[in-house]
């Protein structure tokens, strides 16, 4: 999935001990949907499908709480629903989103960037062919997440299908796409047999 505004701990340092906040994910999401951040989600027809709280004890009088959201986007031009993730900082005492207006603007910019990456991906003949082969026959699940390669941000796409509800064996189409140029890397098709054996076929 695409990772948004989560704070990263310094390399080589252990994270602070965990902190369990006194409120639930459902409570936080309901409050969040009443903010400017929630309005961006509603206006863009983005659905919250998962929510996880992560808490850390920074000091006896200071805690850090992050809400990690799994978001499902509206259907793309090819009819695919993409799953992404986005994280926001909370007020550790109340569970309210911190700097809601700024977080909303960050989310909007993030969604626009993701939409541009999806539009570029869906122009690729390999993606069109993968969707054509499976659409209407099987459920296509698509996730994208952000990665950094040599300090250059890019999006990694993973389109997958399962051939049976009882068995998650199937195939997928995976690749990275860089938003600032035409570069597409490591595009390959993955086949998974019933016994879990993977076979990758390089496409580009």
DSSP 140-167: -EEEEEEEEETTEEEEEEEEEEES-SS-
Among 119, 138, 162, where does a domain finish? 119
Task: Tell me what percent of the residues of the chain surpass a pLDDT of 90.
Answer: 62
Which positions of the chain have pLDDT values less than 70?
Answer: 1-13, 149-151, 179-182
Residues 135 and 109 in one domain: no
- Cβ pair 198, 188 in contact under 8 A: no
Q: Are residues 114 and 131 in the same domain?
A: no
Q: Do 91 and 175 fall into the same domain? A: no
According to DSSP, residue 204 is labeled: -
In terms of domains, do 52 and 106 share one?
yes
Q: Which domain covers residue 139, as residue numbers?
A: 125-202
d(CA 194, CA 200): 15
Tens-place pLDDT, residues 113-140? 999 999 999 999 999 999 999 988 889 9
Q: What is the pLDDT of residues 51-79, one digit of tens each?
A: 999 999 988 889 999 999 999 999 999 99
């Amino acid at each position: 999935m695409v990772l948004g505004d989560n704070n990263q701990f310094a390399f080589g340092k252990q994270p602070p001990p965990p902190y369990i906040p006194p409120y639930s994910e459902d409570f936080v999401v309901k409050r969040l949907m009443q903010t400017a951040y929630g309005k961006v989600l509603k206006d863009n027809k983005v659905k919250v499908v998962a929510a996880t709280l992560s808490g850390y004890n920074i000091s006896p009088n200071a805690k850090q709480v992050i809400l990690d959201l799994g978001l499902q986007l509206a259907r793309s031009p090819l009819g695919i629903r993409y799953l992404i993730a986005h994280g926001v900082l909370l007020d550790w005492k109340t569970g309210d989103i911190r700097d809601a207006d700024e977080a909303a603007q960050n989310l909007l910019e993030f969604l626009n960037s993701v939409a541009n990456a999806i539009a570029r991906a869906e122009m690729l003949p390999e993606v069109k062919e993968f969707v054509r082969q499976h659409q209407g026959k099987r459920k296509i699940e698509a996730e994208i997440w952000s990665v950094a390669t040599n300090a250059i941000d890019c999006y990694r796409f993973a389109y997958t299908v399962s051939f049976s509800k009882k068995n998650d064996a199937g195939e997928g189409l995976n690749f990275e796409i860089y938003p600032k140029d035409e570069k597409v890397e490591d595009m390959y098709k993955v086949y998974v047999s019933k016994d879990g054996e993977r076979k990758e076929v390089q496409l580009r």
